[in-house]
Amino acid sequence: MVQPLEFPGGDIGSLAVIGTANDLAMAAARPLHLSVSLILEEGLPLALLRRVVASMAAAAARCGLTIVTGDTKVVERGKADGLFISTSGVGLLELPDPVDPTAIQPGDVLLVSGDLGRHGVAILAARHALDLQPPVQSDCAPLWPQVEALLAAGVRPHCLRDLTRGGLASALAELAEGSGCDLLLEEAAVPVSGSVARTCDLLGFDPLQLANEGRFVAVVPAAQKDQALAVLGASGGALVGCVSSAAPAGMPRVLLRTAFGTERLLLPGSGELLPRIC
């Protein structure tokens, strides 16, 4: 679900398809097939529906998957915010070992796959008719090509996590809790575009907490960081931190080293900065 249904760089159709394909990619699974269910609000313009369905077909082609089944329902006016889409996907695992937070170890390094915050800012601008110059496009994009490139380069990630709702801050908090390890993030190393940074400064947002739809964080062994950086750096990715140590039981933390050299706790945002965003 998202409002508005169309936004710079995408729409609800491409968002639904790419979002599920990316969930599979984060398990190191090649996306294969997708089911799609549409919930249409009475009065939804047919022209908009045709654009969204065409966008879904194009997104499926980009992701290399096929839409194989689905369903459609119509509800009363005012009951569905225009259009809801529910998707489920099936993929093929490309690694024998699980890719999840329990595999994270002290000494691992953290990399992001590109600049952060563009999806959140694009939705904000579209929703409130902000005339940002230059306009900010959503980063909505398939993640499997980058994951596949990592595997082809010999990188065996311990964990992958897409940076959707809650952004990098929430993702790292989940990884710290799931692994039982402290994570250290270098603020100066996090890539943020100038337009996103200026918008956040003006409106009081933190780009570390904004949603992304085409970005992920990879936790990889330190011995493989050069191979991983060579792959992700080509699309603006960067080495942004490390897994510092095993934390005392029940107390894993995410520490942010600021540009001034000080350290502070990085906490996930409370509530939703922008509801109905992904």
Report the alpha-carbon distance of residue 22 to residue 180 in Å, rounded: 25
Report the alpha-carbon distance of residue 218 to residue 207 in Å, rounded: 18
Say if residue 46 is in the same domain as residue 74: yes
Residues in contact with 164: Cβ distance below 8 Å, sequence separation at least 6, in sequence order: 19, 211, 212, 213, 278
Residue 271's pLDDT is what?
A: 65
DSSP one-letter code for 26: T
Report yes or no on 273 lying in a domain.
no
Estimate to the nearest angstrom the gap between the alpha carbon of 87 and the chain centroid. Answer: 16
Report yes or no on 141 lying in a domain.
yes
Say if residue 64 is in the same domain as residue 142: no
Q: Residue 142: is the preceding peptide bond cis (ω within 30°)?
A: no
CATH number at residue 24: 3.30.1330.10
Residue 36's pLDDT is what?
A: 97
DSSP 120-169: HHHHHHHHHT---SSPPPP----SHHHHHHHHHTT---SEEEE--TTHHH
Say if residue 120 is in the same domain as residue 74: no
Which residues does the chain have with pLDDT short of 70? 270-276
Report yes or no on 140 lying in a domain.
yes
Report yes or no on 75 lying in a domain.
yes
DSSP one-letter code for 259: T
Say if residue 250 is in the same domain as residue 119: yes
Burial label, 163 (beta-carbon count in 10 A; 0-12, 13-18, 19+): buried
* Sheet architecture: strand order including 159-162: 159-162, 216-220, 109-112, 238-246, 181-186, 254-257, 263-265
Question: Is the CB of residue 251 less than 8 Å from the CB of residue 174?
Answer: no
Report yes or no on 258 lying in a domain.
yes
Question: Is the CB of residue 9 less than 8 Å from the CB of residue 121?
Answer: no
Structure tokens at 143: 């993640």
Say if residue 105 is in the same domain as residue 89: no
Place of tokens 């942004």: 240
The string of pLDDT tens digits covering residues 249-258 is 778 999 999 9
CATH number at residue 131: 3.90.650.10
Residue 274's pLDDT is what?
A: 67
Say if residue 51 is in the same domain as residue 134: no
Say if residue 37 is in the same domain as residue 105: no
Say if residue 111 is in the same domain as residue 17: no
DSSP one-letter code for 188: G
State the pTM of this model: 0.93
Say if residue 203 is in the same domain as residue 245: yes
Name the domain boundary from 93, 119, 148. 93
Name the domain boundary from 35, 61, 93. 93
Report yes or no on 276 lying in a domain.
no
Residue 275's pLDDT is what?
A: 62
Residue 165's pLDDT is what?
A: 86
Report yes or no on 18 lying in a domain.
yes
Report the alpha-carbon distance of residue 1 to residue 83 in Å, rounded: 8
Residue 24's pLDDT is what?
A: 97
Residue-range definition of the domain harbouring residue 221? 101-265
Report the alpha-carbon distance of residue 218 to residue 112 in Å, rounded: 6
Say if residue 153 is in the same domain as residue 246: yes
Report yes or no on 275 lying in a domain.
no
Say if residue 243 is in the same domain as residue 126: yes
Say if residue 139 is in the same domain as residue 15: no
Number of structural domains (the chain) is 2
Question: Is the CB of residue 246 less than 8 Å from the CB of residue 190?
Answer: no
The string of pLDDT tens digits covering residues 182-236 is 999 999 999 999 999 999 999 999 999 999 999 999 999 999 999 999 999 999 9
